[in-house]
């Protein structure tokens, strides 16, 4: 059973641990070294349960990851557009948790008046690319070879979806 709740400050260490656990794989984040809880406080406080939530995800009552909506570009004209981020602990991948949670947060976003949602995904991160394509996201952009991870240049995709159509 998959459950979720609005993340609290007490959840932030777990959120950071899951995020940091993805760094070594060089697929999910452009960070190359672990981040600290303190360094993520500002990011945490930029979210709110009303329209830019961070949800802690549990699978069979075990915390397994998080999903969030973040404001895009910090300009008023983009207030109906959000960035979606999803991070799952490696032990919980491949269980359709991501698909379930993307669907849930899209439903939430629609009710919050969001009209467009997108994610930045490395082109070589095939599990994430496939997840978003399965959820009807389209490629809105390609930034070729903009990231260098372990001396390999990587593409960044912008995968997006209109929620108002």
Determine phi and psi for 92, rounding to 5 degrees.
-115, 10
CATH number, domain at 73? 3.40.630.30
Query: pLDDT (tens digit, 9 = 90+) per residue, 110-158?
Result: 999 999 999 999 999 999 999 999 999 999 999 999 999 999 999 999 9
Confidence of residue 40 (pLDDT cuts 50, 70, 90): very high
pLDDT recorded at residue 63 = 98
pLDDT recorded at residue 164 = 86
- Residue 140 forms part of a structural domain: no
- Residue 147 forms part of a structural domain: no
Query: pLDDT (tens digit, 9 = 90+) per residue, 47-106?
Result: 999 999 999 999 999 999 999 999 999 899 999 999 999 999 999 999 999 999 999 999
- Residue 17 forms part of a structural domain: yes
Confidence of residue 31 (pLDDT cuts 50, 70, 90): very high
Distance CA 76, CA 138 (A): 24
What range does the domain containing 27 cover? 2-119
- Residue 112 forms part of a structural domain: yes
- Residue 151 forms part of a structural domain: no
- Residue 133 forms part of a structural domain: no
pLDDT recorded at residue 3 = 98
Domain count, the chain: 1
- Residue 163 forms part of a structural domain: no
**pTM attached to this predicted model:** 0.96
Q: 3-class SS at 36? A: coil
> How does DSSP classify residue 43?
H
């Amino acid at each position: 059973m998959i459950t979720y709740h609005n993340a609290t400050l007490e959840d932030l260490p777990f959120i950071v641990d899951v995020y940091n656990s993805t760094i070594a794989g060089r697929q999910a984040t452009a960070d190359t070294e672990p981040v600290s809880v303190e360094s993520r406080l500002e990011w945490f406080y930029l979210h709110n349960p009303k329209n830019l939530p961070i949800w802690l995800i549990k699978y069979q009552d075990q915390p397994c990851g998080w999903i969030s909506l973040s404001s895009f570009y910090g300009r008023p004209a983009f207030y109906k557009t959000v960035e979606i981020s999803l991070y799952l602990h490696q032990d919980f991948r491949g269980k359709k948790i991501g698909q379930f949670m993307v669907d849930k947060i899209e439903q939430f976003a629609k009710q919050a008046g969001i009209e467009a949602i997108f994610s930045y995904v490395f082109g070589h991160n095939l599990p994430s690319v496939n997840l978003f394509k399965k959820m009807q996201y389209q490629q809105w952009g390609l930034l070729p070879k903009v990231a260098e991870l372990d001396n390999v240049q990587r593409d960044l995709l912008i995968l997006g979806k209109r929620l108002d159509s």
